Amino acid sequence: METTGTSGMVMTKTVEDMDVLAETASRAGAHDVKVAANKVSVFYGEKQALFDVSIDIPARQVMAFIGPSGCGKSTFLRCINRMNDTIDICRVTGRIEIDGANVYDAKIDPVLLRARVGMVFQKPNPFPKSIYDNIAYGPRIHGKAKAGSEMDAIVEKSLRRAGLWNEVKDRLREPGTGLSGGQQQRLCIARAIAVNPDIILMDEPCSALDPIATAKVEELIDELRERYTIVIVTHSMQQAARVSQRAAFFHLGYLVEEGETERMFTNPSDQRTQDYITGRFG
């Protein structure tokens, strides 16, 4: 495959698109497409950060975005729940469809979108409130549950799903900021789960955690895959290999390659992907 020079890049992309189509066809029926991005470009003022990214994210799988720093993977992740709206100079073109509806459509309210697309951030960021209130906040503002036993049930269910219930059930009234880093991150995952989303976006969720806490979060991600579509941005190749079924490699704002994780790590079709995976740059 031709991979050098600018013309090569365009060519690769075309080939790559065809690969995607072929792969999508091969797994037809096994998984529905949850998020379909079509020619998404992102501009920060004059500077273009993302170039015509088109990708299908299947439901109930873990999709990992990998690539060197500044490659646009976080930027793309934050387009999916329109977190980029909070940045004044940020402009997004193209379509991102969730279950067939374009999230950048004028009819779509970002508040409702973010209730369906939860997000977990790089640094654990629990509210400086009690563990209970951290979980209950989302359902409360969306009017999903009344205070009392109904809310208690949601809090318990969310904490159980995040694997945190047994550790915190006796101290739900204590501040969430008093937990350890790994527990805080799982609390944030529980907080995202509490509003009952379809999709959970994770922006390097383990980069601030130690290996043991990381293992727990990865285990959790694997369990969550049964109910939720998960998109995770990670710097760690090993992590991508461990938790994801599919992976997408971003480089310099382009989506270089996308496919099943196993295939991509053993037999990447693009030279740049191979260079990155084998550690030649990054």
Partner 1 sequence: MSDNSAAKIRTGTWYEPDASLKRRYAADKRLRMYGVAAIVFALGMLTILVGTIASTALPALTQTHVTLQVELPAEAIDRSAPRSAGYQKMLADTISQLYPEVDTPRELRQLRQLFTNNAQYMLRDMVVADPSLIGQTIDFTFPMSDIGDQLHKGGIDRNLPPDQRRVNDEQIGWYDRLVEQDRITTPLNTGMIFNADSRFPELAGLSGALVGSFYALLICFLVSFPVGISAAVYLEEFAPKNRWTDLIEVNINNLAAVPSIVFGLLGLAVFLNFFGMPRSAPIVGGLVLSLMTLPTIIIATRAALKAVPPSIREAAIGVGASKMQTVGHHVLPLAMPGILTGTIIGLAQALGETAPLLLIGMNAFITAAPDSMFNPSTALPTQIYIWADSPERGFTSRTSAAIVVLLGFLVCMNAIAIYMRKRFERKW
Judged by CB under 8 A, the residue of 10, 21, 101, 112 near partner 1 is: 112
Where are the strands (E) in 59-198, listed by range?
Answer: 62-66, 90-98, 101-102, 117-120
In total, the chain counts a number of residues equal to: 282
Identify which of 184, 240, 225 has the alpha carbon closest to the alpha carbon of residue 66: 240
Nearer of residues 81 and 244 to partner 1, judged by Cβ: 81
Judged by CB under 8 A, the residue of 79, 195, 232, 255 near partner 1 is: 195
Q: Report d(CA 270, CA 8) in Å as an integer.
A: 11
What residues contact 28, with CB distance under 8 A and at least 6 apart?
none
Between the alpha carbon of residue 180 and those of residues 46, 60, 121, 209, the distances in Å are 41, 29, 16, 10
In the bound complex, what is the minimum distance in angstroms from residue 148's beta carbon to partner 1? Answer: 20
Taking CB under 8 A as the rule, does residue 119 contact partner 1? yes
Taking CB under 8 A as the rule, does residue 121 contact partner 1? yes
Q: Which residues pair with 65 in a beta bridge?
A: 233, 248
Q: HSE on the CB side for 261, CA within 13 Å?
A: 19
Binding mask 127-166 toward partner 1 (x if CB under 8 A, else -) reads xxx-------xx--xx------------------------
Where are the strands (E) in the chain, listed by range?
Answer: 33-44, 47-58, 62-66, 90-98, 101-102, 117-120, 199-203, 229-233, 246-251, 254-260
In the bound complex, what is the minimum distance in angstroms from residue 169's beta carbon to partner 1? Answer: 22
Residues 231-250 that bind partner 1 (CB under 8 A): none
In the bound complex, what is the minimum distance in angstroms from residue 110's beta carbon to partner 1? Answer: 8
Taking CB under 8 A as the rule, does residue 125 contact partner 1? yes
Identify which of 135, 117, 128, 125 has the alpha carbon closest to the alpha carbon of residue 208: 125
In the bound complex, what is the minimum distance in angstroms from residue 108's beta carbon to partner 1? Answer: 13
Taking CB under 8 A as the rule, does residue 101 contact partner 1? no
Nearer of residues 184 and 261 to partner 1, judged by Cβ: 184
Stretch that binds partner 1, among 19-27, 107-115, 220-228, 232-240 (CB under 8 A): 107-115
Applying CB under 8 A, which residues contact partner 1?
A: 81, 83, 86, 88, 111-115, 118-121, 123, 125-129, 137-138, 141-142, 188, 191-192, 194-195
